[in-house]
Structure 1
Amino acid sequence: MCAVVSADLASAPPAERVRLAVSGMTCAACSARVERRLNKLDGVTATVNYATGIASIDAGAVPVEQLCAEVVAAGYTAEPAASGGSAFAPSASGQAEVVDLRRRMCVALVAFFPLADLSVMFAMVPSTRFSGWQLLLTVLALPVVLWSAAPLHLRAVRNARHGGVGMDTLVSVGVLTATLWSLQAMYLRPPRTDTPDGVWAAIWSSDSIYLEAAAGVTAFVLAGRYFEARARRTAGDALAALAALAAHEVTILTRDGREIIVPTAELGVGRQFVVRPGETIAADGVVIGGASSVDAAAMTGESVPVQVRAGDSVVGGTVALTGRLTVEATAVGADTALSGMIRLVEQAQQGKARMQRVADRVSAVFVPIVFALAAATFVGWLLLGGGTDRAASAAIAVLVVACPCALGLAIPTALLVASGRGAQLGIFIKGHQALEATRDVDVVVFDKTGTLTNGRMRVVAVGTDSFAEAEVVRLAGAVEAASEHAVAGAIADHARAAAELDPVEDFEAMPGLGAQGRVLNRQVLVGRPRLMTERGLLVPDTLAAEADRHARAGRTAVLVAVDGRVAAVVAVADTVKDSAAAAIERLHRLGLRTVVLTGDNEHVARAVAAEVGVTEVHAELLPHDKVTVIEQLRAAGHRVAMVGDGINDGAALATADLGLAIGAGTDVAIAAADIILVRADLDTVPDAVELAHATLRTIRGNLMWAFGYNIVAIPIAALGWLNPLVAGAAMAFSSFFVVTNSLRLRRVRPGR
């Protein structure tokens, strides 16, 4: 089986394309800009992955230097990415970006609240002003406008240099315009001394001081960017976790029999290397000496370690548990099965990363239109004789009221609240893509081992023939306690739970068959029926029938012989989780189809599926087979959710429309998934689906409000019916509505 894994996964075409690591991208629109720039070159086809920061390019005859120059010309930086496996690795710069955004956001929020109160009060009620009030407002506003908003200004300048505009441009211009107009109103105009009669009179006749709008826009936009950056930084963790599985060093055998430790990069095809117990196998190969139990769950999903000996194939990234192996390498570097799996995950994530947020998709049209409307408003009022103040007031009102705070908050605030509610329910939602993917999910695919089952072998039944069960279990447990096999461990744990184990003498392990030893002067033999046959022992009909029944049910049947007489059959199995059947039933009630995909054998898979209520089973699958099944379901028009926990599930989780990983699973599965189920309780699967649906509905409502608000508010501002102060308040109210609507997610109760 392992040989097939290596051959098929490694046959996935290695990336012959040029790969560039692109820095400086801040949104999906940035990756689209780089992609368009590269694709304008003759013979070049490029795809830019915003999540990983990697541009994959079929470059034709275009040199790498020219490709990098094109990226720089678009306003970003680029350098050739590392070859082989994944080019992505978490960087300190990603964390620095998150920390910097959080710091700037906090400064903006701290200054905004007193600034909002004082700015409104001084603008509307001149009698409250005191000597130096202008300096107080300036000291509060400038750190926000100049320092906190600096990244927005810099990106606006960079966009302008390269002939583009975006949301950063609109925010920057709106903030700076409101600030400059407010400063000239405070310092260059004669102060008002009258006190308007009534609130509305105070509003309409207030001075043109809009510093609270400038600070509020900055604070709210930075909050949205912070939550986005924090989520984006983890987007490539699956690739880094997969790459971390590979061994960094390998012990090679020289022609004179010496053992030398070298970096795995120096290992070539045909070279022999040594794997000791507990070490990771460095490359795909064939065992030419020794025997060992190998944990192959990372690549095959098999719940029981695989016994390998001379002539068997092994896969890089798996772990030798017991004996020492001598292996001849058949595939190394980018040609190994592990590298093939890395490419599968990377390719799957490439497609997901191209999903752009609604705000980014409309920015190319929305921002120029707002600027045009603001300019037209200013000119129109001048032509109509409204005066400079009136024209500037209306134009600033258009810019301020159109600032996309609600649009920027629509997704992050809903995600934040959903994440908090999800944490209470044992669910972690990674990002907007996970929620969008649930829209039409109609098939839920489950891995078996560690997902539907507990992932641990346990004794589920003991049958005896003329022997006391407790005595047989104690004797068998004593022998198995000296073995490292997973089945032996289950029997030893079962015996140890009842009584203290006796010491074993003359212990001998027989790989692939069983073990024997002397306990309390009694000869005990524990192993497969084949071992009993080879020793010439007669298996009683009742025990043979019981062993056959367990085998048909997908359990491992182990026979125990005491003093040359077969005394008992012990059934060992990976038990089904208590919550599995109820979770499957809830999914069926939601109208979802369920499927089981597993690397285990057909009998085991169907037995588990029948117990939990799933009728569609695909067994004995390798990692790329799981990907194939999911792709076939998607090609048939289905939206597929995948639930898994193992390394071998990483590619399938990334390929599915929605990946859900059991939190107790491997780092690779968790990193590749869209939703993490913190508890092993499978009730969290339907809970996650319901919470995701509720969150998606909330996001849609937020976006509808944000767009509807702009459609209504911008014309009103352009007609001069909105004082910029009122425009700022309207903008703030739109953000308040979005936040309040998102907070409703705290009351979501899945299953009710």
Structure 2
Amino acid sequence: MTVQSADLPALGDPSDLITTRLSIEGMSCAACSGRVTRALSAQPGVRDAQVNLMTGSARIRHSPSLPPADLAAAVTKLGYPATIPAAAAPAPAPRTDESAALKRAFLTALVLTLPVFLAEMGGHLVPAFHHWLHAAVGTAPLNWAQMVLTALVLAGPGRRFFATGIPALLRGAPEMNSLVALGSGAAFLFSAVVVVLPGLIPPASRHVYFEAAAVIVTLILMGRWLEARAKGQAGAAIRALIDLAPDQATILQDGKPARIAVADLQPGDLVLLAPGERVAVDGIVTEGRGHVDEAMLTGEPVPAEKSPGDPVTGGTVNGSTALTFRVTATGADTTLSRIVGMVENAQNARLPVQALVDRITRVFVPVVIGLAVLTFLLWLVFGPDLAHAVVAGVAVLIIACPCAMGLAVPVSIMVGTGRGAQLGVLFRRGEALQRLSNARLIGFDKTGTLTRGHPELVAIQTDGIDEAQALRLAASAEARSEHPLAAAIVAGAGARGLDLPPASDVQANAGRGLSATVEGRRLLIGNLAALTEGGIAPSAMLRDQAEQAAAQGATPVHLAVDGRHVASFALADRIRPEAAQTIAALHGMGLKTAMLSGDVPATAQAVGKQLGIDRIQGGLMPGDKLQAIRAMGTGSVFVGDGINDAPALAAAETGIAVGTGTGIAIESADLVLMSGDLGGVPCAIRLSRAVMRNIRQNLFWAFAYNAALIPIAMGVLVPFGGPQLSPMLGAAAMALSSVCVVGNALRLRTAG
């Protein structure tokens, strides 16, 4: 849930704002999170506040002049204790402590409630037991015993409902705890008056409902315990990421290995990595060659080869070879910490669909209290006695719990983004979850996205010279150039094991090629324009073959030796092996595809047609590409490499960065595919659709539940011979609704 502060002009530039995170206890429904959000947003200097009911946390952007302690105090004043977590904590703390506390409270309440329940309800099931019990103990002592046990339930395990709910009610801002406190308190007080001051109650209404008050609290505690357990499972994926980082590492100190805490590592330290050991922090390999399993971060099952100069990422697992690396980032600056932070931010996001829930839950609890009062009055006037009126009013209060509504959206976001992290699909912004589900047109950059991003020598055509000799001469000259095409020719010669003699008189002509002297022979290397300008007549055969290569997406480079055109090299940026499968998968999902490339139109058309892309645009300047993306309209998605495509990624409705997940790639898009595998694009869309489908299911369940059961609790079926809903059954149904919503969201753990 997010609320924008109305006092934005006074906050200055957004770059001056700071972000504070709070851990908040006691929030149990959408009304709670909504109240906390409004209280935070009302603080002077707050730009926006995001409160997550699932994680029990808040993320506030505010002016540096507003102390974070004041934000925590404002929330605590509402009755929800708030603290500022340690700076090193990368994500909300696991909810295991909450689950354990609720379990103890539930079991205590169960032990105290069971005798009350058996004493009152056992007689309905076995009449002989009722007669025996009242004959052996007596009605009055039995009622007194029930009252004492119920009082212990309400004052002990159930005290949490009254401690939060009654103050909220007195402030005119009732929430779920207020409903439970009113319902169980009303049932207890009515029954206590019957026992202590029976003369105040008409004889026909002298019934006790201690079992209702006790069972209500017990069932709701059970529901919250099960809900907390499920929430813990929902956050398991992100906690698994946090747990990837080891606690200790071995460094070289004065030439000797020493074991220290990972928290004490500093950039520049040399870390010894044993076979099978987890990498502690980010670094650069300095010694050793081997493979590192990066699957937990990238989703890529094949271990990555590492040698001196290659980066390693904290949390990954070393293979069977010992490595040494130099630390480059620690603490919050590591890739793992940034990933955890991204997932946490996405989980705290407020989707557009949440706006409907916010509007409803803001007035829901007051309306329910009004309906409960109306129900009590109607039953008092038209019902058989006071006792039935009390039961009906309590049933309405208990069954109309907004817990399921409050959990419907955030629990799905939490599980979905956690699942994405496991698959190497990182949602930097939670809103991308909803936007991506509405995708209609997926646009791709070509170089580095659909292709490998670097040219390779794919063919050599010669006329009057040996292929090896042509490549040897060309590579000797190109070794002095830094152009990517030159590097491809040199790499091709290296792959064939050719020796490269030195070149002299090397002169580069931008946009044309270069000239050089190798072994006394004058070389000219470049395009056809370079040959023409050099007064060299192109070979018709080589020219035709070059045109065929260009039509297939390759770039031709020509070689002339001593004034004669003797060879043509075809250089191509090879298509990624998974690109065609990705495009086919997107088409299978009913989506259109486009390619927006700065490469020459002929090459772009060749690559696009080979992949089966629907719309192909080549020769685009950066400004043209931005206009093309904006013209894609609603439901547009752009996929780029996350570095040189940053403006285009920002211009699209949803930007997906395909890369290693380091550096700019993490910061440039709404969504990052850590593995660099294009197959993550349809995977992300499937996950997004699954999350939104899950949210719609949860919202339907939450709203349909209340719409159907509140009238039944009010007694609309009674005039037609139907039952009057018991408060105990209402409590059970209410607890079940929240558990069902969380359980439904947990199905997303296998999505994608």
**Range of TM-score over shorter length:** 0.5 to 0.7
Instruction: Give the corresponding residue for 2:620.
Output: 621
Instruction: Give the corresponding residue for 2:115.
Output: 125
Instruction: Give the corresponding residue for 2:656.
Output: 660
1:111–1:716 CA distance, 2 compared to 1 (3 A): farther
Instruction: Give the corresponding residue for 2:542.
Output: 543
User: What is the rounded CA distance, in whole Å, between the counterparts of 2:647 and 2:234 in structure 1?
Assistant: 24
User: How many Å apart are 1:369 and its aligned residue?
Assistant: 1.5
Instruction: Give the corresponding residue for 1:80.
Output: none
User: What is the rounded CA distance, in whole Å, between the counterparts of 2:590 and 2:110 in structure 1?
Assistant: 54
Q: Decide whether the 8 Å contact of 1:355 with 1:433 is kept in 2.
A: no
Q: Decide whether the 8 Å contact of 2:524 with 2:560 is kept in 1.
A: yes
Instruction: Give the corresponding residue for 1:364.
Output: 362
Instruction: Give the corresponding residue for 1:727.
Output: 730
If the length of structure 1 is used for normalisation, what is the TM-score?
0.59
User: What is the rounded CA distance, in whole Å, between the counterparts of 2:656 and 2:557 in structure 1?
Assistant: 35
Task: Find 1:690's aligned residue among 679, 686, 691.
Answer: 686
Q: Does 1:700 align with 2:696?
A: yes
Q: Decide whether the 8 Å contact of 2:18 with 2:61 is kept in 1.
A: yes
User: How many Å apart are 1:487 and its aligned residue?
Assistant: 1.6
Q: Does 1:173 align with 2:178?
A: yes
Q: Secondary structure at the match of 2:586?
A: helix
2:463 alignment partner AA: D
Q: Secondary structure at the match of 1:578?
A: coil
Q: Does 1:113 align with 2:100?
A: no
User: How many Å apart are 1:172 and its aligned residue?
Assistant: 4.6
User: How many Å apart are 1:682 and its aligned residue?
Assistant: 3.0
Q: Decide whether the 8 Å contact of 1:395 with 1:718 is kept in 2.
A: yes
Q: Decide whether the 8 Å contact of 1:415 with 1:695 is kept in 2.
A: yes
User: How many Å apart are 1:123 and its aligned residue?
Assistant: 0.7
User: What is the rounded CA distance, in whole Å, between the counterparts of 1:503 and 1:179 in structure 2?
Assistant: 93
Q: Secondary structure at the match of 2:678?
A: coil
1:165-222 alpha-carbon deviations (Å, 9 max, x no partner): 5xxx52353466579789999999999xxxxxxxxx9999455265445656766888
Q: Secondary structure at the match of 2:454?
A: strand
1:30–1:145 CA distance, 2 compared to 1 (3 A): closer
Task: Find 2:642's aligned residue among 624, 641, 646.
Answer: 646
1:225–1:582 CA distance, 2 compared to 1 (3 A): closer
Q: Decide whether the 8 Å contact of 1:660 with 1:675 is kept in 2.
A: yes
1:550-605 alpha-carbon deviations (Å, 9 max, x no partner): 44555332223456654322222222222223332333343322222223332332
Where does the alignment leave 5 or more consecutive residues of structure 1 unmatched? 1-14, 39-45, 57-64, 66-71, 77-91, 192-200, 233-350
User: What is the rounded CA distance, in whole Å, between the counterparts of 1:95 and 1:546 in structure 2?
Assistant: 66
1:240-292 alpha-carbon deviations (Å, 9 max, x no partner): xxxxxxxxxxxxxxxxxxxxxxxxxxxxxxxxxxxxxxxxxxxxxxxxxxxxx
Instruction: Give the corresponding residue for 1:583.
Output: 582
1:552–1:414 CA distance, 2 compared to 1 (3 A): same
User: What is the rounded CA distance, in whole Å, between the counterparts of 2:569 and 2:649 in structure 1?
Assistant: 36
Instruction: Give the corresponding residue for 1:208.
Output: 214
The within-5 A match list for 1:340-739 is 356-377=354-375, 397-419=395-417, 422=420, 427-429=425-427, 433-438=431-436, 440-499=438-497, 501-502=499-500, 504-506=502-504, 508=506, 510=508, 512=510, 513-515=512-514, 525-562=524-561, 565-634=564-633, 639-647=635-643, 649-664=645-660, 670-671=666-667, 673-719=669-715, 721-739=724-742
1:514–1:716 CA distance, 2 compared to 1 (3 A): same
User: How many Å apart are 1:630 and its aligned residue?
Assistant: 3.7
1:13-50 alpha-carbon deviations (Å, 9 max, x no partner): xx999656597899996899799999xxxxxxx99797
User: What is the rounded CA distance, in whole Å, between the counterparts of 2:518 and 2:86 in structure 1?
Assistant: 58
2:368 alignment partner AA: V
User: How many Å apart are 1:705 and its aligned residue?
Assistant: 0.8
- Backbone CA RMSD of aligned residues: 5.7
User: How many Å apart are 1:521 and its aligned residue?
Assistant: 6.9
Q: Secondary structure at the match of 2:573?
A: strand
Structure 1 range deviating more: 601-610 or 705-714: 601-610
User: How many Å apart are 1:704 and its aligned residue?
Assistant: 0.7
1:432–1:539 CA distance, 2 compared to 1 (3 A): same
Q: Decide whether the 8 Å contact of 2:661 with 2:672 is kept in 1.
A: no
Q: Decide whether the 8 Å contact of 2:230 with 2:742 is kept in 1.
A: no
User: What is the rounded CA distance, in whole Å, between the counterparts of 1:475 and 1:183 in structure 2?
Assistant: 98
Q: Decide whether the 8 Å contact of 2:230 with 2:743 is kept in 1.
A: no
Instruction: Give the corresponding residue for 2:260.
Output: none
Q: Does 1:102 align with 2:93?
A: yes
Where does the alignment leave 5 or more consecutive residues of structure 2 unmatched? 1-8, 23-29, 52-58, 66-70, 76-82, 120-144, 197-206, 239-348, 716-722
1:113-169 alpha-carbon deviations (Å, 9 max, x no partner): 233233234212259999x99999799848x949xx99x989x96x997x8x5xxx5
User: How many Å apart are 1:733 and its aligned residue?
Assistant: 1.6
User: What is the rounded CA distance, in whole Å, between the counterparts of 1:227 and 1:523 in structure 2?
Assistant: 71
1:467 alignment partner AA: I
User: What is the rounded CA distance, in whole Å, between the counterparts of 2:35 and 2:648 in structure 1?
Assistant: 28
Q: Secondary structure at the match of 2:739?
A: helix
Q: Secondary structure at the match of 1:462?
A: strand
User: What is the rounded CA distance, in whole Å, between the counterparts of 2:731 and 2:226 in structure 1?
Assistant: 13
1:91-123 alpha-carbon deviations (Å, 9 max, x no partner): x979969878535x3322121223323323421
Q: Secondary structure at the match of 1:454?
A: coil
What is the aligned length? 561
User: How many Å apart are 1:390 and its aligned residue?
Assistant: 7.5
User: How many Å apart are 1:453 and its aligned residue?
Assistant: 1.7
Q: Secondary structure at the match of 2:590?
A: coil
Q: Decide whether the 8 Å contact of 1:641 with 1:656 is kept in 2.
A: yes
User: What is the rounded CA distance, in whole Å, between the counterparts of 1:95 and 1:450 in structure 2?
Assistant: 40
1:203–1:712 CA distance, 2 compared to 1 (3 A): farther
Q: Secondary structure at the match of 2:482?
A: coil
Q: Secondary structure at the match of 2:620?
A: coil
1:598-628 alpha-carbon deviations (Å, 9 max, x no partner): 2333233222212211242233435554443
User: What is the rounded CA distance, in whole Å, between the counterparts of 2:367 and 2:708 in structure 1?
Assistant: 14
User: How many Å apart are 1:458 and its aligned residue?
Assistant: 1.6
1:100–1:678 CA distance, 2 compared to 1 (3 A): closer
User: What is the rounded CA distance, in whole Å, between the counterparts of 1:510 and 1:671 in structure 2?
Assistant: 37
Which protein shows a greater Rg? 2
1:547 alignment partner AA: A
User: What is the rounded CA distance, in whole Å, between the counterparts of 2:559 and 2:591 in structure 1?
Assistant: 45
1:115–1:224 CA distance, 2 compared to 1 (3 A): closer
Q: Decide whether the 8 Å contact of 1:479 with 1:507 is kept in 2.
A: no
The answer to which structure, 1 or 2, has the higher relative contact order (CA under 8 A, 6+ apart) is: 1
Q: Decide whether the 8 Å contact of 2:187 with 2:210 is kept in 1.
A: no
User: What is the rounded CA distance, in whole Å, between the counterparts of 2:636 and 2:657 in structure 1?
Assistant: 14
User: What is the rounded CA distance, in whole Å, between the counterparts of 2:694 and 2:226 in structure 1?
Assistant: 19
If the length of structure 2 is used for normalisation, what is the TM-score?
0.59
User: How many Å apart are 1:478 and its aligned residue?
Assistant: 4.1
Instruction: Give the corresponding residue for 2:126.
Output: none
* Percent identity of paired positions between Structure 1 and Structure 2: 32
Q: Secondary structure at the match of 2:598?
A: coil
User: How many Å apart are 1:707 and its aligned residue?
Assistant: 0.8
User: What is the rounded CA distance, in whole Å, between the counterparts of 2:670 and 2:694 in structure 1?
Assistant: 19
1:743–1:538 CA distance, 2 compared to 1 (3 A): same
Q: Decide whether the 8 Å contact of 1:208 with 1:724 is kept in 2.
A: no
1:207–1:33 CA distance, 2 compared to 1 (3 A): closer
1:48–1:534 CA distance, 2 compared to 1 (3 A): same
